Amino acid sequence: MAVRDFLDLLATDPRFRESVVHIETTSRREARYGDLSRPLPKELQSYCDGKGLRLYTHQCAAIEHLRTGENIIITTPTASGKTLAFLLPVFEHLAADPGATALFLYPTKALANDQVKVVRELERESGIRVDAAIYDGDTPAGRRPAIRERSRVILSNPHELHQVLAWHMKWSRFFRNLRFVVIDEAHRYRGVAGSHMAMLLRRLARIADHYGARPQFVLSSATLANPGEFAARLTGEEAIAIGEDGSPAGAKTFVLYNPSTAGGGRSAHSATKDLLLASVESGCRTLCFTVSRRLAELIAIRSGPFPAISAYRAGYLPKDRRAIEDGLKDGSLRGVVTTNALELGIDVGSLDGVIISGYPGTMISVRQQAGRSGRRSGESFAVLVAFENPLDQYFMRHPQAFFSRPCEHAVVDTGNPYILSGHLLCAAAELPVDPERDGRWFGPDLAGMLAAFEQVHLLRKASRGWIYAGKGRAADMVSLDAVSSDTFRVMHGARLLETMDRGQAYREAHPGAILLHRGETYVVTAMDLDQHAIRVEETDTDTYTQPLSTTDVAVVREIRRRDIGGMQVSFGDIKVTQEVVGYTVRHYGLPPAGPPAAPP
């Protein structure tokens, strides 16, 4: 009844009614179950029976294709059982082959920590021993040798894999027996990050090939326009796309909400706060997505003294993030305001509704975020709160353009010379590069790149091939997400509050900046660029700071030009320079408080 109470409130309360511009409802969908060509091993069938699980059609399809040695990409919606669809066939193979191993890659440590519980539960209840373990930057040094020597299922992330491939000799047992590589939330690897990931996976496949293994790739993803093509570009291997969802779904009401249609000049942020409070007060367990870390903190603070609402974002310490996730799952928290950090499949229990504050930029994100509610087939809702920008307002005026809009193509470019050349250096540090053998991994221009690197003394030719000759570690020269890997620590006395990368620190943590952290306000007193430390003091204020930046785009060279629809479009190289030049001081919900302050 809580969801219905909230929706009735939107329809009848004058505070909300005028801003509701469109409502779209999807009907309840019944489950469609499938059958396997041969039964699961008794240990796995007993696990399913004990949980009361029947396999959906897409889960059966995934199991059958993996049994025949094919690669797959599963693109069914959130909470459709994708994890079980690949865990069962992986465990089935590991039960039949006691030496086989599997590598599970997740985009974040938080997601790996969440998913290892599921893997260990299956291991414990089925009795199939795999010694599942997490291996990442937080793994104690004393535990690492035992994991390398004994674990058959290892959960990690691309950044850790990038660092350990050069030490593959220590992993020889694991790589020699590698049968599966599972890439969860694969849609996160698009654009530059996806191109880096594609080359990292080719380096992994090259190492496995060196030890005589050819693993199957299993991708779990949000809905994409080009799943098969994307999987092939990301892994270098053809894959079967499985997208027809057999899981049940409850009725979902999707509301387009436009604050600019109501009088009084209410901002989208104020409207988001009011909707969140109304939802929580109606008894709904609610997740509210925002477009920035600052807005997540700001909306949580402006929700007042309500004790059951918290912010959640990247930068929080792991123990703080886990406490919030557990609070949302057990019901002690009724509302969480988050960035896209919770767009991933971290288990936060059954949610009644989602509020999306501002169009997140892609329909992939819209569907992922909206899909976080109604996870157990009950009635649910999603509300998109429009900003005043042209795209948000266009969707408000043309609802069918929004609801009929397909998900985007996921683009991966393995031919980018800057990305390709960096990973070639890493590969040469891992194994000598043979131009004839390794062209399959690095493309037809491999010989030319090797010669170019020899001229600048980064590679040299040895008896077994080309090897890395640079001074520093090759892996340290390549950042997988193409952003600074520098980490700044935000310190309140001796207490570590959170971490930031260099770009965020420059924008948000200059001296004089007001930081919002878990409902508390702090003022930055010092920023030590050498020690990567930001010093803050607690402050009692109803203001926050917003950076002022300038962006300069300079055309370096034009490569080609086309005429499209009477408009000239050029393709070429550009240089983008962003500079933070000052900041403004704002009151919560009010216009800027005076002129810009002095430059930071």
Provide the edge-to-edge strand list for the sheet that holds 495-501.
495-501, 487-492, 533-538, 520-528, 514-517
Q: 556: domain range?
A: 487-587
Assess if residue 48 is contained within a domain.
yes
Residues 131 and 192 in one domain: yes
**Rounded to an integer, what distance in angstroms lies between the CA atom of residue 531 and that of residue 446?**
40
Tell me the CATH number at 390: 3.40.50.300
How would residue 589 be classed by pLDDT, with cut points 50, 70 and 90?
A: low
The β-bridge relationship of strands 543-564 and 567-587 is antiparallel
Assess if residue 597 is contained within a domain.
no
The whole-number average pLDDT for the span 119-133 is: 98
Where is average pLDDT lowest: 25-39, 226-240, 442-456, 534-548?
534-548
Residues 170 and 266 in one domain: no
Residues 518 and 575 in one domain: yes
Assess if residue 598 is contained within a domain.
no
In 10 A of CB 369, how many CB atoms? 23
How would residue 464 be classed by pLDDT, with cut points 50, 70 and 90?
A: very high
Dihedrals φ, ψ of 591, to 5°? -65, 170
Assess if residue 12 is contained within a domain.
yes
DSSP 240-293: EEE----S-B--EEEEEE-GGGSTT---HHHHHHHHHHHHHHTT--EEEE-SSH
Is the CB of residue 139 less than 8 Å from the CB of residue 318? Answer: no
**Rounded to an integer, what distance in angstroms lies between the CA atom of residue 56 and that of residue 52?**
13
The whole-number average pLDDT for the span 498-518 is: 89
Residues 142 and 252 in one domain: no
Global pTM?
0.87
Residues 363 and 254 in one domain: yes
- Per cent of the chain over pLDDT 70 is 96
Query: What per-residue confidence (pLDDT) applies to 580?
Result: 87
Query: What per-residue confidence (pLDDT) applies to 482?
Result: 52
Core vs surface per residue 134-149: b (16+ CB within 10 A) or e: bbbeeeeeeeeeebbe
**Rounded to an integer, what distance in angstroms lies between the CA atom of residue 203 and that of residue 165?**
8
Residues 505 and 579 in one domain: yes
Number of domains observed in the structure of the chain: 4
Residues 470 and 535 in one domain: no
Average pLDDT, the chain: 92
Query: What per-residue confidence (pLDDT) applies to 263?
Result: 62
**Rounded to an integer, what distance in angstroms lies between the CA atom of residue 349 and that of residue 335?**
12
**Rounded to an integer, what distance in angstroms lies between the CA atom of residue 178 and that of residue 123?**
18
Higher-confidence position of 584 and 378: 584
Assess if residue 55 is contained within a domain.
yes
**Rounded to an integer, what distance in angstroms lies between the CA atom of residue 286 and that of residue 382?**
10
Residue whose tokens read 């939330």: 185
Q: Which of 223, 242, 261 is the last residue of a domain?
A: 242
Assess if residue 596 is contained within a domain.
no
The whole-number average pLDDT for the span 314-337 is: 89
| pLDDT tens digits for range 191-214 | 999 999 999 999 999 999 999 999
| pLDDT tens digits for range 169-183 | 999 999 999 999 999
The β-bridge relationship of strands 380-385 and 101-105 is unpaired
The whole-number average pLDDT for the span 452-456 is: 95
Burial of 403 per CB tally in 10 Å (0-12, 13-18, 19+)? middle
Residues 527 and 397 in one domain: no
Q: Which of 350, 368, 403 is the last residue of a domain?
A: 403
Query: What per-residue confidence (pLDDT) applies to 519?
Result: 77
Assess if residue 211 is contained within a domain.
yes
Which is it for the CA torsion 258, 262, 267, 270, positive or negative? negative
Q: Which of 403, 432, 452 is the last residue of a domain?
A: 403
Residue 598 has pLDDT above 80, yes or no: no
Residue 353 has pLDDT above 60, yes or no: yes
Residues 520 and 470 in one domain: no
Residue 529 Cα to chain centre, angstroms: 29
Residue 483 has pLDDT above 60, yes or no: no
Residues 208 and 91 in one domain: yes
Residue 599 has pLDDT above 60, yes or no: no
Residues 580 and 445 in one domain: no
Query: What per-residue confidence (pLDDT) applies to 592?
Result: 39
Residues 118 and 266 in one domain: no
**Rounded to an integer, what distance in angstroms lies between the CA atom of residue 153 and that of residue 132?**
5
How would residue 591 be classed by pLDDT, with cut points 50, 70 and 90?
A: very low
